Amino acid sequence: MRSRRGSMAISYTAKSRAPLIAAVKSLKTSEVERLLDSGEDINQTFKEHTGEVRTPLHWAVWLEKEKMVRLLLERGSDPNVPDQDQASPLHIAAAFAQPEMMKLLLDHKADVNIPGQRNWTALHDAAFGGATNVIELLLQAGADINSRNLGKDTPLHSAVAQDMVEAANLLLTSGACPHLRNWDNMRPIDIVNTRIAHSRSAAAYLQNEASAIERERQKLADLQEQDPEADVLDLPQLPQNIDERVVKLNATIERLQEFAGVLQKAMDTAPIPLDEELALLDLRLRQLKGLQYRLNLQMKYNSSLAEKLRSVVAQMG
């Protein structure tokens, strides 16, 4: 799971409170029960020497120990306490694609839309990893399909950015809006089209490089044929596996074009949200104002230049 850091304060417990977490990490069920019966705080957080700050429940989910997770939840563990990266246990389970663990957490009132680091939700994590079964579970639990992180990316943006086609298709058929733009003014289809453009540029570069080297090789070969005594340097070598690399790039382009077609079809049928239309109009208005400002500057510069030229002409006369 990617590291995420947020601004929510984390309370640190004293080192004397570590035995419960140690027992959880060691999977000592009876010791966990004993410590809880003796008054240990089940929602305690402890800062490890590695800098990790997690509750016992975080550790149980992280270690994928369903029995321990069930025990802690039944004893009252809060599934919405964040770790040092602002991740709740549900974020971890979603990132690691653990649907059974997630069902347990959701059954014990885990907040399906709780924001993590940079406002990532569990649905962002699931979409990022392409876990369609996890996405379905989260949507059934009421996850906001168009939730935004701090970069204004939706789960659909996350799926598309990682080339998770099945996840993107599931989100689209479940009602994800394909028109929403992130802070970079990119819709999901814009991300795909950018990757297509980059792949085309890379393929063209490799082909041009290969052609240039082949022409040089032919020139040197012709020179050597004309004059066998000529001191010709070693023939330049073609880049390694260039044909294979171009074939792979072309296959990537074809696949991305199909992906873009799916997104475009969704955009053709899905209505554009009013706030998105207003945001787009505002963007265009700001672009026009910027253009007007640059034109005004250019006109002032031209006027000043014309005045100087008239002055020079007058002096010459």
Mean pLDDT, residues 97-116: 97
Residue 62's pLDDT is 94
User: Are 34 and 75 within 8 A, CB to CB?
Assistant: no
Residue 317 has pLDDT above 80, yes or no: no
Phi, psi values for residue 46, rounded to 5°: -135, 135
- Of residues 1 and 179, more confidence is placed in 179
Nearest to 21 by CA among 71, 74, 63, 57: 57
Least confident of 7-16, 99-108, 133-142, 146-155: 7-16
Report the 3 state secondary structure along the chain.
Answer: CCCCCCCCCCCCCCHHHCHHHHHHHCCCHHHHHHHHHCCCCCCCCEECCCCCEECHHHHHHHCCCHHHHHHHHHCCCCCCCCCCCCCCHHHHHHHCCCHHHHHHHHHCCCCCCCCCHHHCCHHHHHHHHCCHHHHHHHHHCCCCCCCCCCCCCCHHHHHHHCCCHHHHHHHHHCCCCCCCCCCCCCCHHHHHHHHHHHHHHHHHHHHHHHHHHHHHHHHHHHHHHHCCCCCCCCCCCCCCCHHHHHHHHHHHHHHHHHHHHHHHHHHHHCCCCHHHHHHHHHHHHHHHHHHHHHHHHHHHHHHHHHHHHHHHHHHHC
Q: How far apart are CA 61 and CA 108, in angstroms?
A: 14
Q: Residue 7: is its pLDDT beyond 60?
A: no
Q: Answer yes or no: are the C-beta atoms of 87 and 15 closer than 8 Å.
A: no
Query: Is the pTM above the cut of 0.85?
Result: no
Nearest to 84 by CA among 68, 108, 109, 62: 62
Is residue 1's pLDDT more than 50?
Answer: no
**Please, which pLDDT band fits residue 179 given cuts at 50, 70 and 90?**
very high
Relative orientation angle of helices 165-173 and 132-140, to the nearest 10 degrees: 20
For the stretch 245-268, pLDDT in tens is 889 999 999 999 999 999 999 999
Residues 80, 84, 90: CA angle, nearest 5 degrees: 35
Arithmetic mean of pLDDT, 311-317: 82
Which pLDDT value is given to residue 314? 84
Residue-wise pLDDT tens digits, 201-246? 999 998 888 888 778 777 777 766 777 765 655 555 656 678 888 8
CA atoms within 13 A on the CB side of 127: 31
Query: Residue 16 pLDDT more than 50?
Result: no
One-letter amino acid of 310 = R
Structure tokens at 239: 């880049």
Tell me, what's the pLDDT at 231? 60
pLDDT tens digits along 142-161: 999 999 999 999 999 999 99
Q: Which domains does the chain have, with CATH numbers?
A: 15-179 (1.25.40.20), 189-269 (no CATH)
